[in-house]
Amino acid sequence: MLTGQHFIAGAWHTGAGTFENAPVTGAPSRFHQGSAELVDQAAQAAEAAFGSYANTSRSERAAFLRAIADEIEARGSAITEIGAAETGLPAARLEGERGRTTGQLRLFADHIEKGDYLDRRHDAALPERQPLPRPDLRVIQRPVGPVAVFGASNFPLAFSVAGGDTAAALAAGCPVVVKGHEAHPGTCEIVAQAIAAAITACHVHPGVFALVQGGSHAVGQALVTHLLIRAVGFTGSLRGGRALFDLCMSRPNPIPFFGELGSVNPVFALPEALQTRGEAIAKGWVASLTLGAGQFCTNPGLLVGLAGSDLDRFTDEAKTALGAVSAQTMLGDHIADAYRLGRDNLADLPGVERLLASTENGRNTAPDLLTTSGAAWLADKKMAEEVFGPLGLIVQAADADQMVEIARSLEGQLTCTLQADAGDLGQAAELMPILERKAGRLLANGFPTGVEVADAMVHGGPYPASTNFGATSVGTLSIRRFLRPVCFQDIPESLLPHDVRYAR
């Protein structure tokens, strides 16, 4: 049952005020609003837990992660019910996302048990070395301290309370303070209940996890500026993420802000592929573009092709396919409003033609399709801004050189995709070194929605796709965000952390 409360230091707490969620179905529920005082309590509890939790064994932390996954699965039907009501997402999508959430918790459990992530190195002492002896040096990755995590609007499970950021931080040995998202506070609370049960079952320090619900921007500001917080994981808008990043940098002790902020994820449809597979590419692009009402950070909102009859046929096919897509429910009124504002601003730019205008009703919206020339796109950087939702923009490049120019003009992206056949490989080879500098993940003959949770995945990219180009928010490599190397010089073995004693 929902309490509407915050979870801090092993107990449920009320707040000074309340706010209501806005479910798609059913009556609204009331939740206690977060505050700077509650954030302080959560951060103090996390710091109190850090000493013991950071020094738990890898097997103990792995057992804790698996217990969280088990407790989430035990609440599966309740999570699906409240998640569907709050977000409008279909049950099948939520069940799949729940599986991804528990899967990545177990993946991290397996990952830390192997120990490779510790990157242990040992340079043995050379006391007889001339002209100077070398000391004994051992290095290992150690947890950074309490981590703040912001729940995402578009993934109420996989990027939220027990999502990838939380899983990575807990695996690293860092306590976590989560700010719940106002769009689905009930879902946040049920998942927090699962983590609370795992804390009890595994006898973990109760300060290792806290959920502070939102309700105002002050909660997020208090969280990223609290001096006990040592790193932040965030998935959300460029505007909100940049504001929080600036706060992290202005602290007396600046901390890393790992913000995943989205992108337009350009698809370059090269000539032979467009000629031979144009219809199939159009259908695949539309399916990816409209998946989940376009509410994915990897939504391929931009397609670039050479102007001509092949691109015209592609455009007609895409328009027909998009026109057959029914209106879908967006995750919140504010997201639907922001989509329409972004769409209208883009459609009103000089040189943009509207090919398909969506119908809309409250939180429900159908896709939009726009087109422009390569010259117009290059002349106006506003065309490169993300519109979060089911909007596609087709850019008609005048020639291969202009396509390269478009690639060079891109800002940081999460993904870039090449649709290329054998005859396109020369042009693809010219684009590859450019696109490699633009994105964290490059694809060939596929579409970027669907981010595999795996060791080799990178979900990040140069700014503004993310605030740290050297990090990923998906996959086991994401644990590195919440670790730092510590070198131990001539430290007696009995004083070393257990995992570094055998670093040979």
Starting at the earlier edge strand, list the strands of the sheet with 11-13.
11-13, 6-8, 209-212, 176-179, 147-150, 231-235, 257-260
Q: Please name the amino acid found at residue 430.
A: E
* Contact of 307 with 373, CB cutoff 8 Å: yes
Single out the catalytic residue among 71, 189, 260, 317: 260
* Contact of 213 with 181, CB cutoff 8 Å: no
- What SS3 state is found at 253? coil
327: left (phi over 0), alpha (psi -120 to 50) or beta: beta
Tell me the β-bridge partners of 150: 179
Cα 377 from Cα 307, distance rounded (Å): 13
Single out the catalytic residue among 248, 297, 386, 416: 297
Cα 409 from Cα 381, distance rounded (Å): 9
Cα 356 from Cα 392, distance rounded (Å): 10
Cα 64 from Cα 494, distance rounded (Å): 26
Q: Please name the amino acid found at residue 313.
A: R
Cα 371 from Cα 373, distance rounded (Å): 7
Contacts of residue 265, defined as CB under 8 A and 6 or more positions apart, other chains included, come to: 298, 299, 300, 301, 302, 413, 414, 415, 416, 417, 448
* Contact of 133 with 125, CB cutoff 8 Å: yes
- What SS3 state is found at 48? helix
Pick the closest to residue 270 from 408, 403, 143 (CA basis): 403
Scanning the structure block, which residue is given the tokens 């079952």?
201
Is 182 an annotated catalytic residue?
A: no
Is 260 an annotated catalytic residue?
A: yes
Scanning the structure block, which residue is given the tokens 């706010």?
19
Tell me the β-bridge partners of 321: none
* Contact of 254 with 459, CB cutoff 8 Å: no
Query: DSSP letter string over 138-196?
Result: EEEEEE-S-EEEEPPSS-TTTTSTTSHHHHHHHHHT--EEEE--TTSHHHHHHHHHHHH
List residues with catalytic annotation. 260, 297
